[in-house]
């Protein structure tokens, strides 16, 4: 009986290790492509696999925005695909500036993604 309990505890521990919290934060972009009518109004949608992590606020009139929001997901696994979609808000139709996809890794990382020739998206992740 004691040994099966130990096995169960071991399985629970393994599950805890495999599924851990993901944090995505410190999102910023440089040289977002400006509208024909003015600077970019950028925001980012975040997904982990098919799950939506959230959307940043829109930062108006800034080609080099820095978003202060932090996003968390409790059941993230190593190698899950994190997808960030950068948009420029417009009156009628928001332009997709670019998409960044990466497999998350355990630990603390700072990523940079070239979305276009000049546009770069930076963000940090922590997976425990």
Instruction: Give ∠ CA 56-51-75 in degrees, rounded to 5.
Output: 105
Helix (H) / strand (E) element for 30: namely: strand 20-30
CB 122 within 8 A of CB 115: no
Closest separation between CB of residue 13 and Ca ion, Å? 49
Q: Is 69 in the site for Ca ion (CB under 5 A)?
A: no
The only residue of 41, 63, 80, 85 in contact with Ca ion, by rule CB under 5 A = 41
Interaction of residue 31 with Ca ion, rule CB under 5 A: no
Per CB under 5 A, the list member of 88, 97, 123, 127 interacting with Ca ion is 88
Residue 12 Cβ, how far from Ca ion at the closest point, in Å?
A: 49
Count other C-beta atoms under 10 Å from residue 14's C-beta.
10
Task: Please give the Cα distance from 95 to 116 (Å, whole number).
Answer: 13
Q: Does 60 bind Ca ion (CB under 5 A)?
A: no
- Under the rule (CB under 5 A), what is the footprint of Ca ion? 35, 41, 88, 90
């Amino acid at each position: 009986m004691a040994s099966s309990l130990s096995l169960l505890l071991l399985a629970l521990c393994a599950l805890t290790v495999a599924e851990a919290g993901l944090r995505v934060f410190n999102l910023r972009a440089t040289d977002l492509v400006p509208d024909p009518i003015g600077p970019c109004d950028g925001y980012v949608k975040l997904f982990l696999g098919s799950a939506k992590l959230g959307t940043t606020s829109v930062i108006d009139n800034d080609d080099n925005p820095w978003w202060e929001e932090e996003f968390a997901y409790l059941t993230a696994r190593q190698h899950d695909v994190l997808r960030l979609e950068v948009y420029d808000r417009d009156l009628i139709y928001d332009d997709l500036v670019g998409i960044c996809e990466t497999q998350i890794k355990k630990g603390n990382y700072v990523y940079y993604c070239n979305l276009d020739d000049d546009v770069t998206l930076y963000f940090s992740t922590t997976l425990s």
